[in-house]
Amino acid sequence: MPAMHIVVLGCGVSGLSCGIRLLEAGHTVEIWARELPPNTTSDVAAAVWSPYKAWPQDRVTTWAGRTLEVLCALAERPEAGIQVVRGVELFTQEPPEPWWASCVPTYRRATAEELPPGYSHGYSFEAPIIEMPRYLPFLMGRFRELGGRILQREVHSLEEAWREAEVVVNCTGLGARSLVGDDSLYPIRGEVLRVAPPPVRRFLFDDTEEHGVIAYVIPRSADCILGGTAVEGNTSLVPEPANAAAILARCRRLVPPEVHMQVLEHRVGLRPGRPTVRLELERVAGRRVVHNYGHGGAGVTLSWGCAEEVVTWVASAPPSAAPA
């Protein structure tokens, strides 16, 4: 396809993944973003492969399956900060087969030996754990190696980007609510704790959500992420000490009782919730924008699958008049 000049809006995991794939396809690409790592929503992510709070299921399964393949391949590169770990999603009653099982080759039912006290059933599978303080700089380095340019620049309208680019890729997450007037977006507030040392060597999820609280333990190479909360509509980025105490109490049920954990950090992020992920080409007065946002709690999990579809959408759009 003909090479184009493209501006990607947003420098989280979605924007960086799209930028890399577009450069690999032969385009020239700039990323514009108000916030850069380590100050993006992606920096707060746990992050482990899990198609959490993202719809529709059929498209999410496709994107998540492709991303799983790419992340597992990247785990062979130590500088990427990814390790593939077997873990368990836990239940107190027998659950149905997970809708995402078809894209996870290592999925099976958990054995009794894999279940912490108080749990009777579980899903066991291998998944990448992504250390965002290492992974995002890795992606930025790859983007720049390919010739991409990153600008810290706040954008108030798509027109600002169209003045300099043939196509805009909108990876602004919750920012799309004001940028393109998408009122279907809503924040899903998440709080996490970073603790040390890692109390276990496997990830553990208890996704039984009650009043916006869940429990998960995500071990990393030198620390561990404990979570969390999933409160819809709350936009506060101020950590709440009572929530930290509650997270610790819930997660202690998942780890051996003798384990001591030191809290190193308490962080808050706003997941971009939406009834469905928006991944589509839109034309506005002859201009073109590919939207890629609304990934809920699965931004990392869907990143590469969505990025590759973005490249397909860009290729499908015939060139328009040169920008004014």
43 found inside a domain? yes
pTM, rounded to two decimals: 0.95
pLDDT score of 1 more than 70: no
Q: Is residue 30 part of a domain?
A: yes
Instruction: Kindly report, residue by residue over 168-204, the tens digit of the pLDDT.
Output: 999 999 999 999 999 999 999 999 999 999 999 999 9
Residue 321 placed within a domain: no
Q: What is the mean pLDDT of residues 138-165?
A: 97
Residue 288 lies in a domain: yes
**Is a pLDDT exceeding 80 seen at residue 140?**
yes
Sheet holding 5-9, edge to edge: 149-152, 28-33, 5-9, 167-170, 287-293, 278-284
- Identify the pLDDT of residue 316: 87
54 lies in some domain: yes
Both structure tokens of 180:
């393109």
Which domain does 132 fall in, by range? 5-316
DSSP codes joined into one string, 265-304: EEEEEEEEE-SS-EEEEEEETTEEEEEEE--TT-HHHHHH
For position 131, which CATH number holds? 3.40.50.720
Over residues 280-298, the pLDDT tens digits come to 999 998 899 999 999 999 9
CB 89 within 8 A of CB 122: yes
Q: Does residue 323 fall inside a structural domain? A: no
Domains of the chain: total: 1
